Amino acid sequence: MQHTNLYIDGQWRDAASGDRFDVINPATEEAIASVASADLADADAALDAAQAAFGLWAAKKPRERSEILRKAWELMTARLEEFARLITLENGKARADAMGEAAYAAEFFRWFAEEAVRADGMITHAPASGARIVVQHKPAGIAVLVTPWNYPAAMGTRKIAPALAAGCPVIIKPASETPLTMLALMPLLEEAGVPKGLVNVLPSKKSGRLVDHMLHDPRVRVISFTGSTEVGRKLLHSAADQVLKPAMELGGNAPLIVFEDADIDKAVAGAMLAKMRNLGEACTAANRFYVHEKVSREFTSKFSAAMAALKMGDGLEDGIDVGPLVNADTRDKVAAFVEDAVAKGAKLELGGTLPNGKGYFYPPTVLSNVPETADCVNDEIFGPVAAIQSFTDEDDVIRRANNTEYGLVAYVFSENMKRAMQVCERLEYGMVGLNRGLVSDPAAPFGGVKQSGLGREGGHEGMLEFMETQYISAEW
């Protein structure tokens, strides 16, 4: 059964205003569901429910919280196909990508089931006074979670699982393009044993007003956001009024550097993953390719051949690698990046032509000789377009790679480990993929520096984002 209402206090409710909005299948441009659109009265109901659930959940033994999360992992793992289908329907991504996302999303429940029992504190002697310093972590309080459309399941579970592990209730505002997957997760969480009121979902067409209202409620203590830097900045301003704990996973502009001593086949395989996982609609997507002049032709022709072999079509069909982009705006923005780069002198190696017919499709595209002034070098492409430039000097490529306000992830390919590690350390990025095109891992601290964000998700750090540190100065 497809859920389309708000999920508040363990119940499915229509919005108090009665407002609804359509969810569109990007492959067919047809409406597939009409979803309730939350407003302020619904937010208040969710806040009341979350507050009521907080005390009992926070008081549960960590092992009990852990076992509920573990059960959620088991249940989701048994239903990956079901979730993948829904992800493809509302987001467009091809089945293999959707299956990958569903499995990745489920893993956050397993990882944080394991972390729930490890909120380790500390006890030590104060050096001067001799008093004991007792340090412990406590659940921070109600967390508002705002997620993007590019990973409708994983961007939610990456926040829900650590929040629950830490002992916090949550209110999720999923992206308006893709609310169905998050709603579909709720019966599964109920079955796993998550008590009513602990997890609430509020799809809304009035995101700004709804989230701002919640960030001004004194019961809220955490805002965890994944999305664009532009919206992240606005939420940081709102969060300032109540000095909320912010976790911000924002935009990226990932450089991918291929040195002359790289294993080129490995670099091509890594680049395909870094560029085409999720058809480029990822904050981690390689956005700027810097390839050493000596290997530039070999890399470009092998990479273009790999891109040309991808099959585009409705993501639900067999054998499809590249589904449609999420909406017309995203597709048009990608097309404009390509036109701009070509007008500024880039060479079109592959793709670049919009297909006819329904659906927001854009073909795998490769550009070479892309000038630094091209818009796609300075902004997130968020689509299946690789923009290749060449370089000759190591210091110069590091300077160019760091020349952005973003700092989420960079990729480096070199078989010379001494050089590769030195380069990684000089890159101003929260994460680096070294001879790998994939960094996302529930066990690792995911996050960026500079304007790519604040805080980390996954790893041990992910749970601490939902906890406050308390220190007791004690004598006994």
Give residues in contact with ligand NAD (CB under 6 A).
Answer: 146-150, 155, 173, 175-176, 207-208, 211, 226-228, 231, 234-235, 249-252, 283, 380, 408, 448, 453
Q: How far is the CB of 217 from ligand NAD (least distance, A)?
A: 14
Q: How far is the CB of 241 from ligand NAD (least distance, A)?
A: 14
Nearest to ligand NAD of 33, 291 (CB atom): 33
249 tagged catalytic: yes
Q: How far is the CB of 307 from ligand NAD (least distance, A)?
A: 21
E runs forming strands in 51-167: 122-125, 132-139, 142-146
Instruction: Please name the amino acid found at residue 195.
Output: P
Q: Which helix (H) or strand (E) holds 463?
A: helix 461-464
For residue 93, CA distances in Å to 25, 81, 317, 381, 468 come to: 11, 14, 11, 16, 37
Q: Supply φ then ψ for residue 358, to 5 degrees.
A: -75, 160
Instruction: Please name the amino acid found at residue 414.
Output: S
Nearest to ligand NAD of 141, 152 (CB atom): 152
Instruction: Judge contact between 267 and 274, C-beta under 8 A.
Output: no
Which residue is listed with tokens 């729930």? Answer: 116
The DSSP annotation for 24-37 comes to: EETTTTEEEEEEE-
Q: How far is the CB of 188 from ligand NAD (least distance, A)?
A: 21
Four-CA torsion 177, 178, 180, 183, nearest 10 degrees: -110
Q: Which residue is nearest to ligand NAD (CB)?
A: 227
3-state secondary structure 233-294: HHHHHHHHCCCCEEEEECCCCEEEEECCCCCHHHHHHHHHHHHHHHHHCCCCCEEEEEEEHH
Instruction: Judge contact between 375 and 337, C-beta under 8 A.
Output: yes
- Residues 309, 319: Cα–Cα separation, whole Å: 11
Nearest to ligand NAD of 37, 150 (CB atom): 150
Nearest to ligand NAD of 192, 282 (CB atom): 282
Nearest to ligand NAD of 251, 442 (CB atom): 251
Of 249, 281, 349, 465, the catalytic one is 249
Nearest to ligand NAD of 84, 146 (CB atom): 146
Q: How far is the CB of 116 from ligand NAD (least distance, A)?
A: 22
The β-bridge partners of 132 are 125, 474
Helix (H, G, I), strand (E, B) or coil at 366: strand
Query: What's the residue count for the chain?
Result: 476
Q: How far is the CB of 223 from ligand NAD (least distance, A)?
A: 9
What is the CB neighbour count within 10 angstroms for residue 293? 11
Nearest to ligand NAD of 141, 453 (CB atom): 453
The DSSP annotation for 101-133 comes to: HHHHHHHHHHHHHHHTT----EEEE-TTT--EE
Q: How far is the CB of 253 from ligand NAD (least distance, A)?
A: 9
Residues annotated as part of the active site: 249
